[in-house]
Amino acid sequence: MTDALKNDRFLRALRREATDTTPIWVMRQAGRYLPEYRATRERAGSFMGLAQNPEYACEVTLQPLERFELDAAILFSDILTIPDAMGLGLSFAQGEGPQFAHPVRSAADIAKLAVPDMDGELRYVMDAVRLIRRELHGRVPLIGFSGSPWTLACYMVEGHGSKDFATLKTMCWNQPKLAHQLLDTLARAVATYLIAQAAAGAQALMIFDTWGGLLGPAPFREFSLRYMTRIVAALKADPASRDLPVTLFSKGAGQHLAEMADTGCTALGVDWTMDLTDARHAVAGKVALQGNLDPAVMRASPEVIRREARAVMDSYGNHPGHVFNLGHGITPEVDPAHMKVLVDEVHAYGRTLRS
Ligand code: CP3
């Protein structure tokens, strides 16, 4: 049995219901800016050693909640678990980001890809979700997540990180059928993966489309949005995930918010390049919004962090449906004391906004 939820501010805000204050969680809240994360990672030996061990994954998921009054936990894992389970051989070289031993390039490579077994290769993710839910004792809801098909394909075809992911983009122009075949397989894998996380106990779902903003408007619709729309429909059709809020986050894709709001998702993540007043008008009350403090502000003084957090909240205004977050992940050099400044200010100012 899992305990009843004690803090439902995050889920209420996603549903655009009234809350006592603004909920906050932070992308990469379990990560290298925390000394206790670095210590656990040291013990685990490698990033994948950490992510693939449910006890370690649970430990680091809970670490930020011990320090800060965060309103949600996010499963400690990575978006690249799916391609790894597909046999691409993921590793993280020290300080170099992700690397695949076997990137996919040819029609034969793509034809070989299959949806991984959620009770097999990806069982460790579901075990981590179950363990974290148990150890949370209902303190806050647990977010499960996946990469978008487009963003996963970026890494799978390039083989590593890149500024422009030109190899996949070239495939989209020269061999669109092949690109669609890859994205179709990935969309089925992502939907299956998120449904399995929901069945294991995740209480909200998020899709990270980190590289959607690399595409122009028409290619964004064709190669990114189309597949996220399919995934949202699959989640709505399955009893395990039907009632869970789904957040889509396409970084650098502020101009597409109106179309994204029509996918049937619950909320949209917004990066810091867009004003939340404009974002709110773009989505016309169809979805909640999550964001959008510039992560670089976290390196500034506590006074500046407080001021900029209030500015973000003022730009959303006193309306239901705001989940505070950074516009992208927190970076490793941030002082953890600054995170406490942020979380406490968001809660304090959220109360005054409502009074
Ligand atoms: O948000 C959380 O606290 C949950 C954990 C989480 C991680 N990665 C842990 C991680 C989540 C949600 C992700 C998602 C992810 N992973 C994305 C989408 C979100 C985004 O940041 O745009 C992407 C593109 C990846 C791929 C990835 N994983 C990269 C590019 C890197 C290396 C870059 C870096 O920050 O070092 C990773 C590694 C990674 N994933 C780390 C963490 C905490 C750091 C690795 C380490 O500990 O050595």
| DSSP H/E element including 57 | helix 54-67
Give the Cα separation of 343 and 268 in Å (integer).
21
Q: Is 155 a catalytic residue?
A: yes
- 350 marked ligand binding residue: no
pLDDT averaged over 10-residue windows placed end to end, the chain, 355 residues:
89 98 98 98 95 98 98 98 98 88 97 98 98 98 98 98 96 98 98 98 98 97 98 98 98 97 98 98 98 98 98 98 98 98 98 95
Question: Does 3 reside within a domain?
Answer: no
Question: Does 111 reside within a domain?
Answer: yes
Residue ID of nearest Cα to ligand 1 atom 33? 97
Closest residue by Cα to residue 328 from 208, 154, 167: 208
Q: Is 41 a catalytic residue?
A: yes
Residue ID of nearest Cα to ligand 1 atom 7? 78
Question: What is the distance in A from the centroid of ligand 1 to the CA of 82?
Answer: 14
* Torsion angle (degrees, nearest 10) of CA 337, 341, 346, 352: 150
For the CA of 329, the nearest atom of ligand 1: 21
Question: Does 196 reside within a domain?
Answer: yes
Residue 3 has a pLDDT of: 83
Domain count, the chain: 1
Give the Cα separation of 81 and 11 in Å (integer).
26
Question: What are the tokens at 41?
Answer: 């990672």
Q: Which residues have CB under 6 Å of ligand 1?
A: 27-32, 41, 47, 74, 76, 78-80, 92, 97-98, 145, 161, 208, 210, 329
Question: What backbone torsions phi and psi does residue 173 show, to the nearest 5 degrees?
Answer: -80, -45
- 32 marked ligand binding residue: yes
Instruction: Kindly report the pTM of this predicted structure.
Output: 0.97
Query: How many CB atoms lie under 10 A from the CB of residue 285?
Result: 12
- 155 marked ligand binding residue: yes
Question: Does 2 reside within a domain?
Answer: no
Q: Is the distance from CB of 250 to CB of 224 less than 8 angstroms? A: yes
Question: In sequence order, what are the beta bridge partners of 324?
Answer: 24, 291
Question: What are the tokens at 115?
Answer: 């949806």
For the CA of 64, the nearest atom of ligand 1: 3
SS3 state at 225: helix
Question: Does 280 reside within a domain?
Answer: yes
Number of Cα atoms under 13 Å in the Cβ half of residue 75: 32
Give the Cα separation of 137 and 6 in Å (integer).
9
Please state whether beta strands 90-93 and 97-100 pair in parallel, antiparallel, or not at all (unpaired). antiparallel
Give the domain range for residue 127. 8-354
Question: In sequence order, what are the beta bridge partners of 220?
Answer: none
Give the Cα separation of 136 and 195 in Å (integer).
21
- Angle formed by the axes of helices 149-158 and 226-237, to 10°? 130
- 94 marked ligand binding residue: no
Number of Cα atoms under 13 Å in the Cβ half of residue 153: 31
For the CA of 29, the nearest atom of ligand 1: 3
Question: Does 91 reside within a domain?
Answer: yes
Is the ipTM, as predicted for this complex, more than 0.85? yes
- 56 marked ligand binding residue: no
Residue 93 has a pLDDT of: 82
Residue 1 has a pLDDT of: 56
Residue ID of nearest Cα to ligand 1 atom 17? 79
Residue 182 has a pLDDT of: 98
Residue 121's CATH number: 3.20.20.210
Closest residue by Cα to residue 270 from 248, 285, 286, 244: 248
Ligand 1 site-directed mutation target among 71, 77, 78, 158, most atoms within 8 Å of CB: 78
Q: Is the distance from CB of 147 to CB of 90 less than 8 angstroms? A: no
Question: What is the distance in A from the centroid of ligand 1 to the CA of 78?
Answer: 6
Closest residue by Cα to residue 158 from 103, 210, 121, 206: 103
Question: Does 286 reside within a domain?
Answer: yes
DSSP string, 84-108: IIIII-EEEETTTEEEESS---SHH
From the list 12, 28, 133, 280, the catalytic residue is 28
Question: Does 1 reside within a domain?
Answer: no
